[in-house]
Structure 1
């Protein structure tokens, strides 16, 4: 790879990092992704969406599993669905199996897709969407400057993990209960490591020498 080209960051890693930096690190550095009921449900629900191809409906052309990239930011990945309207407007739609959380990690991922599409298609995209399979609704996402800056910052932080191969510290909070990688991550064990190390050091610290009687 040329020296002036940044290390490619997968679009999916942006969402993982925004949810939990350690989760992103485990997936990127150790290929440690683990399935649970929610992730399997999402995989099954994505099967049709991820079949490459396109279809045309009245007034809308739909592209599926569209490869995209952003040279300057070093992003690469695949858009679930991209709709192209007669007026040339382009709408990326990220599909999620669970409930949609406004301002959550999915917004970062779909905004990054929008930025990639802008570079690939030479268009301006101000709106994206997240389709929640839980409520079967599209949720509109405004691709404004604060969200774009969030994408840029997240991409830099993900790339730092990849370049340094250093795992972020565990979150050890409410996110861990919903994470399929809880067992491999061991957040509660590692979150208390500083206290454990301190107690261990105290246990084995040599005390004052004693004089023993013959």
Structure 2
């Protein structure tokens, strides 16, 4: 893993804490993350409800044994140097000392996607807390009904740090990012409140808006 550090903000102050879940939101869509963090906005749809129900089953705190495997649920984690904090859905502690965080998702898994960043961030926090290498993380997809192992490579480590810096900058400036207005919006539960295509002024919506303020020449003829 990379040893690159996230530097504190100016004046030697401690960096603003960044939640692990916000890294996933930002990696998926910066505006979605901004709406959640800056405007406390969130909207449910079928997918988010499924995710909530899934996490209710795995987020009950506890320390359970399963054969020679120790499984910890809802484990709080953090990294003081990077200013990261959050909760792991599941952490497996093996008898050989291997530690594996497992992030649970209700939807399908997309290799290299936002879930990888969140799961890798969990591994980075656990490595700092337990002072031992945590080279892998896992994402369990309820839709796929399988676990996907992720190698926390230096490149993925840097993606985590880049997302952390971006979220912290968003919090520091309180500036809402512009909408994406692309295919991601179709799957986003917040699309209605975000109004991506209107605010992004796509060609279709731009013409419609301009038309609202354009007088028809024929109408002018009826006025003195």
Q: 1:142 aligns with which of 151, 169, 173?
A: 151
Counterpart of 1:51 in structure 2 is: 60
Counterpart of 1:109 in structure 2 is: 118
The alignment yields a C-alpha RMSD, in angstroms, of: 2.0
Q: CA–CA distance in 2 between the matches of 1:111 and 1:73? A: 13
The reply to whether residue 167 of structure 1 matches residue 176 of structure 2 is yes
The reply to whether residue 180 of structure 1 matches residue 180 of structure 2 is no
Q: Which runs of 5+ in 1 are unaligned?
A: 204-214
Q: 2:25 aligns with which of 11, 16, 26?
A: 16
The reply to whether residue 120 of structure 1 matches residue 120 of structure 2 is no
Q: CA–CA distance in 1 between the matches of 2:172 and 2:82? A: 15
Q: 2:36 aligns with which of 27, 35, 42?
A: 27
Give the alignment's TM-score, normalised by structure 2.
0.85
- Aligned length, in residue pairs: 201
Structure 1 segments, 4+ long, off by >4 Å, are: 193-196
Q: 1:192 aligns with which of 198, 201, 207?
A: 201
1:139 Cα deviation (Å)?
A: 0.3
Q: Deviations over 1:103-141 (max 9, x none)?
A: 000000000000000111111011110000012100010
